[in-house]
């Protein structure tokens, strides 16, 4: 019998995406129920969604720019060779932004 559970839609159409959920001390469990979705068709992220790029196949968090806030590096292992194979998302007080 097929599942009646609603399936989420892939916003990248198979190219890969990352969902970031922020902490919220007002919520039991500490995570906001909705997340921000990033993929290569997100404004500010270089490149474009291409089938099988595998955007988000590798993730790393660290202080990339020395501002004492964590940034997110997103790996794109099958990106064409003319485009960088990693994308950086820089933090601000409110959210991540492409950089």
- Evaluate whether residue 12 is within a structural domain: no
- Host domain of residue 58: 39-99
Asked if pLDDT for residue 6 goes beyond 60, the answer is no
Instruction: Specify the pLDDT at position 49.
Output: 86
Mean pLDDT in residue range 9-17: 83
Alpha-carbon span 62 to 18, nearest angstrom: 16
Residue 98 counted as domain residue: yes
Instruction: Give how far Cα 85 sits from Cα of 15, 60, 93, Å.
Output: 13, 13, 27
Mean per-residue pLDDT, 61-81: 83
Identify the band that residue 11 occupies on the pLDDT scale cut at 50, 70 and 90. confident
What's the whole-model pTM score? 0.70
Domain count, the chain: 1
* Phi and psi, residue 75, nearest 5°: -85, 140
Closest CA to 20 of 8, 9, 32, 10: 32
Mean pLDDT for the chain? 76
Q: Does residue 31 belong to any structural domain of this protein?
A: no
93 contacts: CB under 8 Å, gap ≥ 6: none
Could you tell me if residue 10 is inside a domain?
A: no
Contact yes or no for 87/45 (Cβ under 8 A): yes
Q: Is residue 63 part of a domain?
A: yes
Flag whether 80 is in a domain: yes
């Amino acid at each position: 019998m097929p599942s009646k559970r609603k399936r989420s839609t892939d916003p990248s159409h198979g190219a890969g995406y990352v969902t970031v959920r922020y902490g919220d001390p007002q919520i039991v469990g500490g995570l906001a129920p909705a997340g921000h979705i990033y993929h290569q068709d997100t404004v500010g992220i270089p490149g474009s969604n291409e089938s099988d790029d595998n955007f988000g196949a590798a993730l790393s968090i660290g202080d990339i720019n020395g501002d004492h806030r964590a940034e997110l590096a997103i790996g794109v292992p099958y990106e064409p060779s003319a485009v960088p194979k990693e994308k950086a998302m820089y933090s601000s007080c409110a959210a991540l932004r492409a950089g």
